[in-house]
């Protein structure tokens, strides 16, 4: 077992710790990557980010869209997960497969498919045109980006909530009914509290990739709407300013850490549930 533990530790350091240390090093330094010895400690990258309102606005827009997409995924995902958890095993597996199959497809291809659906000559506009509506401008705006987020990240909300709901002991529900609780009270006082752990996991799994996405914005936003992920991509891929890109990445990591800390507070309360209040 110690042998395997050493392998896991090596992989952890190689693929997680070292890249993060490199990003932090670049974020707090200034100079040419070709000459690491000549690089100097500097906070200019962070002052550049904080000193321009455009970057702050992009960050706030990223947080807003990530928050809205997470809420929408929760509002759609929880009822879906609840319905699926109440079905017989064979039907339940078939319904879960509908959420899992799209995840087998490449993320880029899944997002790219929406171009042929939402475009002016796309499927949706053709249907609307047949009834005398349109063509509508459905692409290259924040609504299209939001749709892409919800579509791509909805399974990450449904699966953990479903997993928790499936583990709830039916005897607890029967006990609540025996004590005089109606179906609404059973749900809000037993089922919902016991499913908080799944909600916390689902929210975390949706919010984190949503706040850092750039592929969805590039395709469905048409490069007209930039999020913080697009700014980071631009620094590494086009401008070559790895120091500034790393600084923004550190800011994004801090935002995610704060969000995770906030969600972990709810996760602690959710462990084990509370049964009847």
Which pLDDT score is estimated for 273? 42
Which H/E stretch holds residue 221? none
DSSP 40: E
Which pLDDT score is estimated for 191? 92
pLDDT truncated to tens, each residue of the chain (277 aa)?
Answer: 666 778 888 888 889 899 999 899 999 998 776 666 677 888 999 999 998 899 999 999 999 999 999 999 999 999 999 999 999 988 999 999 998 988 888 888 888 889 889 888 888 888 888 888 867 888 888 889 999 999 999 999 999 999 999 999 889 888 988 888 888 999 999 999 999 999 999 999 999 999 999 999 988 987 667 899 999 999 988 888 899 999 999 999 999 898 888 877 766 655 544 333 3
φ, ψ dihedrals at 30, nearest 5°: -140, 135
Task: Tell me how far apart the alpha carbons of residues 166 and 38 are, in angstroms, rounded to a whole number.
Answer: 57
Which pLDDT score is estimated for 272? 45
What pTM, to 2 d.p., does this model score?
0.88
Task: Tell me how far apart the alpha carbons of residues 35 and 227 are, in angstroms, rounded to a whole number.
Answer: 31
Whether 168 contacts 195, CB under 8 Å: yes
Which pLDDT score is estimated for 269? 55
Task: Tell me how far apart the alpha carbons of residues 48 and 244 are, in angstroms, rounded to a whole number.
Answer: 8
Task: Tell me how far apart the alpha carbons of residues 60 and 41 are, in angstroms, rounded to a whole number.
Answer: 28
Tell me what percent of the chain is helix, strand and coil, each rounded to the nearest 5: 80, 0, 20
Whether 59 contacts 231, CB under 8 Å: no
């Amino acid at each position: 077992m110690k042998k395997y533990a050493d392998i896991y530790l090596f992989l952890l350091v190689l693929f997680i710790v070292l890249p993060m240390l490199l990003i932090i090093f670049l974020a707090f330094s200034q100079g040419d990557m070709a000459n690491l010895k000549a690089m100097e400690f500097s906070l200019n990258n962070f002052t550049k980010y904080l000193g321009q309102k455009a970057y702050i606005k992009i960050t706030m827009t990223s947080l807003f869209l990530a928050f809205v997409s997470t809420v929408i995924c929760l509002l759609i995902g929880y009822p879906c997960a609840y319905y699926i958890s109440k079905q017989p095993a064979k039907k339940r597996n078939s319904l879960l497969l509908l959420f899992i199959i799209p995840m087998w497809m490449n993320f880029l291809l899944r997002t790219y498919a929406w171009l042929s659906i939402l475009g002016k000559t796309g499927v949706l506009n053709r249907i609307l045109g047949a009834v005398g509506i349109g063509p509508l401008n459905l692409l290259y705006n924040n609504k299209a980006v939001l749709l892409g987020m919800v579509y791509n990240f909805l399974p990450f909300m449904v699966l953990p909530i479903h997993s928790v709901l499936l583990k709830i002991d039916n005897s607890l529900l029967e006990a609540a009914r025996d004590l005089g609780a109606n179906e609404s009270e059973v749900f809000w006082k037993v089922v919902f509290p016991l499913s908080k752990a799944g909600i916390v996991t689902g929210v975390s799994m949706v919010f984190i990739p949503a706040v850092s996405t750039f592929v969805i914005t590039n395709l469905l936003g048409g490069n007209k709407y930039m999020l913080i992920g697009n700014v980071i991509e631009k620094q590494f891929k086009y401008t070559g300013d790895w120091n500034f890109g790393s600084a923004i990445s550190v800011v994004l990591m801090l935002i995610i850490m704060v969000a995770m800390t906030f969600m972990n507070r709810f996760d602690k309360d959710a462990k084990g549930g509370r049964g009847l209040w």
